[in-house]
């Protein structure tokens, strides 16, 4: 080793007085390790350098996981806030007609979906002026239709919340918006003993907005509030 330093004296003195500056700089430490390996020649394996590289890779993976967890937490918080705002807006209605119309307008906007529809089963599906008046958000179907729609005619258990990517086969549920829907959330509703079930569907043009991999907890909570509100209106 030469006794004559090749480095600028000022920089050398600064490093000697505060070596932690180098230790905290990842790029400099990586360059020093590479220089050390090069000086040892190709026939020497630096186990310490290998261990350091593995630790760096593990740290990178941990940082990526940390960022993913934080992003997911923010996304869940945003989703919770959306559902809470939608519920509060839904509870503001003082008339049943207003309650239903708000579903397709303000509530849909808060939830950032392109369509919200309420499907009610009824033993009689004759044309009703009141239903026609609310046809953009309300439709009536024969008994058994909701289970068949949710399971798509297959012998599957019917869950309270079903999230899926799909394209409607007809316009019975979504009306004139059916051709744009690419994913949906189906919320089966229980209106109490002696009453036929209902279904609230939320449709989106985004095929990734509702997928089976997503958690249904927030929408299950929304469905529970909606059921209780409907029971009040149905008397």
8-30 pLDDT tens trace:
777 777 777 877 776 677 777 77
What are the b/e assignments for 134-169, b being 16+ CB within 10 Å? bebbbbbbeeebbbebbeeeeeeeeebbbbeeeebe
215-219: average pLDDT = 89
- Residue 15 pairs in a beta bridge with none
pLDDT band at residue 47, thresholds of 50, 70 and 90?
low
140-154: average pLDDT = 90
pLDDT of 97 over the 80 cut: yes
Q: What's the half-sphere exposure (Cβ side, CA atoms, 13 Å) at 56?
A: 13
33-44: average pLDDT = 63
pLDDT band at residue 106, thresholds of 50, 70 and 90?
very high
Q: Which fold has domain 94-234?
A: Beta-Lactamase (3.30.450)
Structure tokens that stand for 212 in this block: 């089976």
pLDDT of 1 over the 50 cut: no
Structure tokens that stand for 125 in this block: 């599906």
Instruction: Provide the pLDDT for residue 200.
Output: 95
- Residue 184 pairs in a beta bridge with 164, 203
**What distance in Å separates the CA atoms of residue 199 and residue 118, rounded to the nearest whole number?**
6
C-beta separation of 150 from 186 below 8 A: yes
**What distance in Å separates the CA atoms of residue 214 and residue 212, rounded to the nearest whole number?**
6
Which pLDDT tens digit goes with each residue over 127-139?
655 555 566 888 8
C-beta separation of 134 from 97 below 8 A: yes
C-beta separation of 146 from 160 below 8 A: no
Identify which of 225, 168, 169, 158 has the alpha carbon closest to the alpha carbon of residue 202: 168
Between 41 and 118, name the one with better pLDDT. 118
Identify which of 91, 73, 84, 76 has the alpha carbon closest to the alpha carbon of residue 111: 84
99 Cβ contact partners less than 8 Å away, ≥ 6 residues apart: 90, 93, 229, 233
Which pLDDT tens digit goes with each residue over 160-192?
999 999 998 888 899 889 999 999 999 999 998
**What distance in Å separates the CA atoms of residue 75 and residue 9, rounded to the nearest whole number?**
52
Instruction: Provide the pLDDT for residue 42.
Output: 59
Phi/psi of residue 202, nearest 5 degrees: -120, 120
C-beta separation of 201 from 187 below 8 A: yes
pLDDT band at residue 215, thresholds of 50, 70 and 90?
confident
Instruction: Provide the pLDDT for residue 16.
Output: 77
In the chain, what percentage of residues exceed pLDDT 90?
Answer: 35
Instruction: Provide the pLDDT for residue 199.
Output: 95
Structure tokens that stand for 68 in this block: 């993913």
Q: What are the sequence ranges of the domains in the chain?
A: 94-234
**What distance in Å separates the CA atoms of residue 122 and residue 135, rounded to the nearest whole number?**
15
pLDDT band at residue 119, thresholds of 50, 70 and 90?
very high
Write down the residue that tokens 């020497």 correspond to. 44
Please give the model's pTM, rounded to 2 decimal places. Answer: 0.67
97-116: average pLDDT = 91
In the chain, what percentage of residues exceed pLDDT 70?
Answer: 81
Which pLDDT tens digit goes with each residue over 49-96?
666 677 777 877 888 777 777 766 667 777 788 899 999 999 998 888
């Amino acid at each position: 080793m030469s006794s004559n330093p090749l480095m600028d004296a000022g920089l050398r003195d600064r490093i000697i007085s505060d070596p932690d500056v180098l230790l905290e700089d990842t790029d400099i430490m990586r360059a020093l390790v590479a220089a050390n390996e090069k000086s040892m020649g190709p026939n020497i394996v630096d186990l310490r350098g290998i261990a350091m590289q593995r630790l760096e890779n593990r740290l990178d993976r941990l940082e990526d996981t940390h960022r993913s967890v934080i992003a997911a937490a923010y996304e869940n918080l945003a989703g919770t806030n959306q559902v809470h705002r939608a519920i509060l807006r839904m509870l503001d209605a003082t008339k049943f007609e207003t309650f239903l119309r708000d579903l397709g307008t303000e509530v849909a906007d808060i939830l950032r979906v392109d369509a919200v529809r309420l499907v009610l089963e009824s033993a009689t599906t004759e044309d009703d002026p009141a239903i026609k008046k609310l046809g953009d958000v309300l439709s009536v179907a024969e008994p058994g239709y909701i289970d068949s729609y949710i399971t798509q005619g297959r012998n599957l258990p019917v869950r309270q919340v079903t999230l899926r990517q799909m394209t409607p086969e007809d316009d019975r549920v979504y009306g004139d918006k059916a051709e744009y829907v690419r994913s949906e959330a189906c919320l089966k509703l229980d209106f109490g003993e002696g009453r036929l079930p209902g279904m609230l569907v939320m449709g989106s043009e985004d095929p990734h907005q509702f997928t089976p991999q997503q958690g249904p907890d927030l929408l299950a909570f929304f469905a529970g509030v909606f059921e209780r509100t409907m029971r009040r209106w149905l008397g």
